[in-house]
Amino acid sequence: MSQNNVTRAVVIGHGHYLPERVVENEEFTKTLDTSHEWIVSRSGIERRHFAAEGETTSNLASHAARAALANAGLSAEDLDAIVVATSTPDLTFPSVGTMVQDQIGATKAYAFDVQAVCAGFVFALANANALIVSGQAKRVMVIGAETFSRIMDWTDRGTCVLFGDGAGALILEAQPGAGTSDDRGILSTDLNSDGRHRDLLYVDGGVSTTGTAGYLRMQGNQVFRHAVEKLAATAETALAKAGLSGDKVDWIVPHQANIRIIQGTAKKLGLPMENVIVTVQDHGNTSAASIPLALSVGAAEGKLKRGDLVVTEAIGGGLAWGAVVLRW
Ligand code: UT7
């Protein structure tokens, strides 16, 4: 790669928020034919957080945003844009982004949402990167925030034990780079969709159909099959676009849906589990919030260090899937 001065979107702050209420697997056995053993062995999930009554996606997102601002040593007025990845907005409109803008007082930022379900944060990161490299923003808050507990069918044991609520946020800043893979910041992105598979994972309600929010429906084993196959492929493609190979990766920070998918993807990429940030046991599947939650937890625990090469990858409803390669 030639050594040209380029603009890179560099992570300068991170934060996360989890609702207070923790629900252990055992709690589901009171109302469903399920067990802690089944949930752990099939998914790796031990507990998840659920938002309190009246606590909305924008509330969770704003908590995470404030934590990221504090971590970066910035005030909300330093932001040019806010991009929120969510499939569980407070209202059909306006966007959660504009609600966060108001709640944190980011008076100079334009704000909008990105909806790519569990792949939402990867899509939002890629869009924020595009805003920065094209000169449309210098500092962008990118948030993944969800209240999936609000779209659970509590009688469907195949889905309701898997999901949780939470939010994570990164702040990206335009910084000069040399144009090589040694630069800090986002180095490459790879985004994909295949709408033929919409029936594998969807919500059975919506504005222009039922006029209701609906409930999540999933053919879990079918999604599983696609996930194992597509996640390693998109991570490898993103690495190749950055001129890098798997052996250079310090951390995989995957979407946290299922420990078996995470292990299978790491194996395909030739990386040991020591190089993978795993939070699925404590958070469950928080859809678009899972990657920024894992990044923020990994950084707070001192695992992610400045200069580390990080690959994030996710797949979800659509299907939509993708990966982002960045140097922390
Ligand atoms: O984040 C977006 C993308 N989503 C994903 O990546 C999720 C991908 N899928 C998965 O994580 C897994 O497919 C699941 C964890 C959802 C399910 O694991 P599985 O090994 O694929 O199980 P299965 O769906 O094939 O079900 C096996 C059995 C079934 O019983 P029969 O038909 O074999 O008698 C289910 O009825 O397990 C049964 N089952 C349960 N048993 C106890 C399903 N849910 C439960 C439950 N407790 N909660």
Q: Please report the pLDDT score of residue 1 as a whole number.
A: 47
Q: Are 142 and 121 in contact (CB under 8 A)?
A: yes
User: Are 166 and 284 within 8 A, CB to CB?
Assistant: no
pLDDT tens-place string over residues 294-313:
999 999 999 999 999 999 99
Residue 204 lies in a domain: yes
Q: Would you say the CB of residue 291 lies under 6 angstroms from ligand 1?
A: no
213-220's contacts with Cβ under 8 Å and 24+ in sequence apart are 213/150, 213/151, 214/151, 215/151, 215/152, 215/153, 215/156, 216/148, 216/151, 216/152, 216/153, 216/159, 216/163, 217/153, 217/156, 217/159, 218/158, 218/159, 220/158, 220/159, 220/162
Ligand 1 centroid to Cα of residue 155, in Å, is: 14
Kindly state if the Cβ of 161 falls inside 6 Å of ligand 1: yes
Q: Ligand 1: does its nearest atom lie under 6 Å from the Cβ of 254?
A: no
Q: Are residues 295 and 199 in the same domain?
A: yes
Domain boundary residue, one of 157, 177, 197: 177
CATH code of the domain in which 204 resides: 3.40.47.10
Residue 1 lies in a domain: no
Say yes or no: 148 and 253 in one domain: no
> What's the pTM?
0.97
Residue of the nearest CA to atom 19 in ligand 1? Answer: 221
Overall domain count for the chain = 2
**145 and 191 together in one domain:** no
Residues 82 and 195 in one domain: no
Residues 33 and 161 reside in one and the same domain? yes
pLDDT value for 3: 57
pLDDT digits (tens, 9 = 90+) for 135-192: 999 999 999 999 999 999 999 999 999 999 999 999 999 999 999 999 999 999 999 9
Assess whether 319 and 229 both reside in one domain: yes
Q: Identify the domain boundary among 177, 193, 213.
A: 177
Residue 229 lies in a domain: yes
Model pLDDT, residue 284: 98
Do residue 42 and residue 64 come from a single domain? yes
Q: Whose CA is nearest to atom 48 of ligand 1?
A: 157
Residues 189 and 311 occupy one common structural domain: yes
Q: Which domain holds residue 244?
A: 185-327
Low-confidence ranges of the chain (pLDDT < 70): 1-3
Q: Is 118 a catalytic residue?
A: yes
Q: Are residues 130 and 218 in the same domain?
A: no
Asked whether residue 53 falls in the same domain as residue 160, the answer is yes
